[in-house]
Amino acid sequence: MLFNSLEFALFIPVVFILYWFITNKNLKLQNFFLLVASYFFYGWWDWRFLFLIFFSTCVDYLVGLKIGQSKEDKSRKIFLWVSLFVNLGLLGIFKYYNFFADSFVDAFSFFGVSFESARLNIILPVGISFYTFQTLSYTIDIYKERIKPTTDFIAFAAFISFFPQLVAGPIERASNLLPQFLKKRVFEYDKAVDGMRQILWGLFKKMVIADNSASLVDALLNSPDQSGSTVVLAVIFFTFQVYGDFSGYSDIAIGTARLMGFNLMQNFAAPYFSTNMTDFYRKWHISLSTWIRDYIYTPLGLRLRHLNRSYGYIIVFLITFTLFGFWHGANWTFIVFGIIQGIILSYEYRSRKMRKKVKAAVNKKAYLFISGILTYAVWCFSCLIFRAESMSHAISMLDSVFSLSLFSFPEFNGKKLALTTTIFIVLFMTVEWFGKNEQYAIGGLPLKFKRPLRWFFYITLVAVIFMYAGEKQEFVYFQF
């Protein structure tokens, strides 16, 4: 069920009314209702996926209890490994098995040995990467004694399958979200209005910015003219497609959760105004970036602390971001994308003192402006690899970019759409700039207006969504 679909437009009012007016007097009933609603929402794609998420939920609920009850460190580790083996095993089978099998065959073919391997003809369960990381953090945090296990299975199952953020995040920690299922929730009008405002902004980003950009990206990359200028224009639109799409999903998810009385973590914080890639990853997909920092980067850094401090961290960056890229999917383009991010962040780590001196020696505003442009250019280069269908496709596009055709005028169908979308992107980024310190861009901005002007802003936003919505497409991160 897509957030931008008629089915969801009918689903959410029914859930809202039953949740607040029928089940609100009993916390367990309210949680059970959320669990049923979440399973219905998830099963709308394919009811068979429900068995997988229910199995993971049962395993980690029982493992969490066992880790909490165990006094010996050895038995606690065994139960933790059970959770890791089951969750990562399922993720590996459904998401990565065919990739490893094909890579294994290709490696032997390189040496002249030819054979076939068995491939699995299975569908990738929607959102498996997201809820796997969410449930893993629960058992790891119990093992690290950061939280205590819950004995309320319904609350735990609702936490794992909570429909607003189930499919594409934010990836919530049990320490933040689970306690909210264990205490009575009271309807707050201002909170619900704020949730509706964030949903509206998310729909604008998805339906106007992302979907129109997606149409242009497809038109540009599928055009007969594969000049460097065409590729660059496609990549620029792709950066706004993926940002509008994913941050739009996050806004709708966070706003919907707020309607239900829950607070989810901020997932994007105006990342396109970053002045370096280190800052960028503090603002982009924050729930994944902090998850990787806490559960991979920091533990790995502690294990490799005996190495030279600078070069040890470079190794940690490369390993961490290679895994970060691989998380996105079973394709060499994602692995190379991750390696590139690791190299860039390693450079920034090594050059931080030098860059600090340069910043102090030149005009600060000019330095920040140039740094912002360079950071966005690096992100565009990364997105070219990310968007490519294969490494050969990526190399072909790079070959076009680094040629004289970069200075030609791009020829493609849809120039009128490109102009309209560009105007909306400029307006969108202007709003993002003025709202960059808010939890979401229009979180506080309209409240500064008088009521008539505020309502005019909302009505205009709704009208733009209906008039200029692009061709309906699934959210980009559903494939991850």
Active centre residues (catalytic): 328
Alpha-carbon span 416 to 406, nearest angstrom: 21
Written as one string, the DSSP assignment of 369-419 is HHHHHHHHHHHHHHHHHHH-SSHHHHHHHHHHHTSGGGGSPP--S-HHHHH
Peptide bond into 179 cis (omega under 30): no
Alpha-carbon span 231 to 109, nearest angstrom: 32
Dihedral angle of Cα 143, 147, 148, 149, to the nearest 10 degrees: -70
Closest by alpha carbon to 268, among 359, 206, 339? 206
Encode 338-370: b = buried (16+ Cβ within 10 Å), e = exposed: bbbbbebbbebeeeeeeeeeeeeeeeeeebeee
What is the enclosing helix (H) or strand (E) of 312?
A: helix 309-327
Mutual angle of helices 228-259 and 391-401, in 10-degree steps: 120
Alpha-carbon span 342 to 336, nearest angstrom: 10
CA geometry: angle 272, 274, 280, nearest 5 deg:
85
Q: How many beta carbons lie within 10 A of that of residue 309, not counting itself?
A: 8
Q: How many beta carbons lie within 10 A of that of residue 220, not counting itself?
A: 26
Alpha-carbon span 298 to 162, nearest angstrom: 28
- C-beta separation of 192 from 256 below 8 A: no
Closest by alpha carbon to 187, among 11, 17, 9, 440? 17
